[in-house]
């Protein structure tokens, strides 16, 4: 059981639409939103992951519903919104966590490989925000995008993901400005290396891990809960005046990336 930092009914009566909601960081965010009373629609390509994730939430006493949709396909997303609305009513919270990534040198990356990650991370985020607009306008809701810190520096083997996440940051700021007047808040979390995720398993080779940890000022990798607690705060009324913020949650890792902390 994770520590309860907020009041129990913080998100009661709200409906959250969480993409990539089955596993990893967004799975953790979905569980935490549900634990504070939000009804959660879990949306991603693979139904098997989603159903297991929905069961976890239901077993803990929360309300969750799994819907398979690819964020690259606007019609599938529209359908997922319709199903969520029928089941849980208007959507108040949108979390864009669906992402694809792999390590590849720019010199070997195919145009389709580059485009695929842009399509999922960046265009997918736009597709979902666009489809959510009417609901969020009605409910004065919020958007939370999951970004990264890769794009703050030049990160080898990550040109595709860095470009996509730089786009997600731009989209976060633009929507904050365009949609703020409808009382829609748009923010992002930029997670650093989160140890208990598929992303770190896939992207941080074992022999690099110890060196990486030594360079994180707080001396540890993050855990999914570090991101989930920030997400609960940003999606709650406690963050009512936060709009267009990109909150880095990385223990100070990227700021120290070129320093000799721990050397
Ligand atoms: N290295 C280089 N190129 C790669 C690659 C890799 N490891 N994995 C995929 N690609 C390229 C493919 O070769 C293809 O390009 P091509 O047609 O020129 O050959 C292109 O990317 C699309 O690949 P495909 O497998 O058809 O796409 P997909 O839509 O099924 O999968 C990915 C999407 C590529 C993001 C895939 O890695 C994936 O589904 N990952 C799981 C989810 C994930 O990554 N989560 C994030 C963890 S941080």
* CATH code (residue 19): 3.40.50.720
The rounded Å distance from CA 102 to ligand 1 centre is 7
111 within some domain:
yes
Task: Based on the residue annotation, tell me whether 147 is a catalytic residue of this protein.
Answer: yes
Ligand 1 pocket check for 100: Cβ under 6 Å: yes
**Quick one: pLDDT at residue 262?**
63
Which entry of 147, 162, 201, 214 is annotated as an active-site residue? 147
201 band by pLDDT with thresholds 50, 70 and 90: confident
Place 158 in a pLDDT band, splitting at 50, 70 and 90: very high
Look up the domain containing 68 and give its range: 15-192+223-250
Decide if pLDDT at 43 tops 80.
yes
pLDDT at 199: 81
Question: How far is ligand 1, taken at its centre, from the CA of residue 206, in Å?
Answer: 21
Q: Is 101 in the pocket of ligand 1 (CB under 6 A)?
A: yes
Question: Residue 215 falls within a domain, yes or no?
Answer: no
Q: Is 72:119 a contact under the CB 8 Å cutoff?
A: yes
According to the model, what pLDDT value does residue 22 have?
Answer: 84
Domain assignment of residue 165, yes or no: yes
Nearest CA, atom 11, ligand 1 = 113
- Is 173 a member of any domain? yes
Annotated catalytic residue 214: no
Q: Is 49 within the bounds of a domain? A: yes
Q: What is the pTM of this model?
A: 0.96
Domains in the chain: how many in total? 1
Q: Which residues are registered as beta bridge partners of 15?
A: 39
User: Which residue, judged by its Cα, is nearest atom 41 of ligand 1?
Assistant: 100
- Best of 73, 100, 163, 198 to mutate for ligand 1, by most ligand atoms within 8 A of CB? 100
pLDDT digits (tens, 9 = 90+) for 163-196: 999 999 999 999 999 999 999 999 999 999 999 8
> Is 188 within the bounds of a domain?
yes
The answer to whether position 50 is within a domain reads yes
pLDDT number for residue 137: 97
Query: Which protein residue's CA is at the shortest distance from atom 32 of ligand 1?
Result: 100
Choose one of 116, 160, 194 to mutate for the ligand 1 pocket test, by most ligand atoms within 8 angstroms of C-beta. 116
In a domain, 135, yes or no: yes
């Amino acid at each position: 059981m994770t520590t309860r930092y907020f009041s129990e009914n913080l998100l009661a009566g709200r409906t959250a639409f969480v993409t990539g909601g089955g596993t990893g960081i967004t799975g953790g965010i979905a569980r935490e939103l549900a634990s504070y009373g939000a009804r959660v629609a879990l949306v991603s390509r693979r139904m098997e992951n989603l159903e297991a994730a929905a069961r976890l939430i239901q077993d803990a006493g929360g309300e969750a519903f799994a819907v398979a949709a690819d964020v690259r396909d606007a019609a599938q997303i529209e359908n997922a919104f319709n199903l969520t609305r029928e089941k849980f009513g208007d959507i108040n919270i949108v979390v864009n966590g669906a992402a694809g990534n792999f390590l590849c040198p720019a010199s070997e990356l195919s145009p389709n490989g580059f485009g695929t990650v842009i399509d999922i991370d960046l265009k997918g985020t736009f597709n979902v925000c666009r489809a959510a607009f009417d609901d969020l306008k009605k409910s004065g809701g919020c958007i939370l995008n999951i970004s990264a810190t890769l794009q703050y520096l030049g990160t080898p083997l990550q040109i595709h993901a860095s470009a996509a996440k730089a786009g997600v940051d731009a989209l976060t700021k633009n929507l904050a400005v365009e949609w703020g007047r409808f009382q829609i808040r748009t923010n992002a979390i930029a997670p650093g290396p989160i140890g208990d995720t598929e992303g770190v398993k896939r992207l941080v080779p074992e022999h690099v891990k110890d060196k990486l940890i030594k360079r994180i000022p707080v001396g540890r990798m993050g855990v999914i809960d570090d991101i989930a607690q920030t997400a609960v705060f940003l999606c709650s009324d406690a963050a009512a005046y936060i709009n267009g913020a990109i909150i880095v949650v990385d223990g100070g890792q990227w700021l120290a990336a070129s320093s000799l902390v721990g050397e």
